[in-house]
Structure 1
């Protein structure tokens, strides 16, 4: 998703929820400022759908909830809200809120040229403040490439890079899959 700042709109979370329900597109709320989320490429959209469907199918008989890009996440201990491409929560506290989740164990972002730097830096900084988050996954829409950030037992984030031929391992939800599964039918320029 591409975030476009709207310089005139500032909201409290309560005002934001009411206002956004009336909008045609989604908006993130960061530091009281809203950012419109615009579309991406066909490859990006198809990859996002494949990932979300795969995770949802894997977790079908579990108490976990898989969210697509319409599921908002509250950045814990802030009044900020964002829309990752895919998220998973297995936390009971998220089952009673219909507007957002706060305790994801896994967040996936499919990269685009306009958001890659933000997804790798500031957005990841915000997400990793959540003590429940175990894995943050960045998926390329331009090549067969997945970067997985996993929190180790010391609380440090360690990166594992997956490329063609690799098996991606998501320990947070006990799922391993060939990286090519995410890229089936995707043609790169």
Structure 2
């Protein structure tokens, strides 16, 4: 695929949606602190266990009936990873997306909707950067997703799907978010 070949040789990141390539803007220090915290928490709690944690340099491939999409989430957990030579994952179980003002509309629209079509996905976390607030889309046994809100630095998001928990105080550490 031409997109994957050209993306591997570029310094900047681009997402791919149905044949169109979109340049990604840079992210604020605040965004990067929160995304880094999410990655560190997941990596620390999953050390020595089977799931793999990937950062924002690894794409998710979403295969739709009529086209393919590639997105860069801020963090993801995968239980059945693609080969090490690939530049993307097909089966994320948990996806973390830190929202930003410049991409908010796409993050809460097409990107969220695309992630929720991934059959392996169990949990999608949409993290607000300016307040201690995380919206969790959790797959229900009977189908579809339930939506939960976690709105306090004192709260913890349980992730029994991968046997970890995500304390909001740690997720927002050094982000200077008021409780």
Same fold (TM over 0.5): yes
Match of 1:183 among 155, 172, 177: 172
**Is residue 2:94 matched to residue 1:98?**
no
The TM-score with structure 1 as length reference comes to 0.87
- Following TM superposition, by how much is the alpha carbon of 1:178 offset from its aligned partner in structure 2, in angstroms? 2.4
Cα distance in 1 between the residues matched to 2:145 and 2:31: 25
Contact 2:61 2:70 in 1 (8 A): yes
User: In structure 2, how many angstroms separate the alpha carbons of the residues matched to 1:115 and 1:46?
Assistant: 17
Contact in 1 for aligned 2:57/2:72 (Cα 8 Å): yes
- What is the SS of the residue equivalent to 1:47? helix
- The CA deviation at 1:137 is 0.2
Structure 1 residue 72 corresponds to structure 2 residue 54: no
Counterpart position of 1:173: 162
Deviation of 1:122 after TM superposition, in Å, equals: 1.1
Asked if 1:146 is matched to 2:134, the reply is yes
Structure-1 residue corresponding to 2:27: 40
Q: What's 2:103 paired with?
A: 115
SS in 1 for 2:89: coil
CA distance in 1, matches of 2:103, 2:176: 21
Distance 2:83 2:4 in 1: 18
* Corresponding position of 1:29: 16
Q: Which secondary structure state, in structure 1, belongs to the residue aligned with residue 157 of structure 2?
A: strand
Structure number with greater CO (CA < 8 Å, separation at least 6) is: 2
Q: CA deviation at 1:22?
A: 2.2
Give SS of 1:185's match.
coil
Match of 1:86 in 2: 75
User: What residue number does 2:44 align with?
Assistant: 57
- 1:18 to partner: Cα distance: 1.5
Which residues of structure 1 form unaligned runs of 5+? 1-13
Q: 1:111 to 1:83 in 2, by over 3 A?
A: same
> Cα distance, 1:115 vs. partner?
1.7
The residue matched to 1:75 in structure 2 has which SS? strand
Q: CA RMSD in A?
A: 1.6
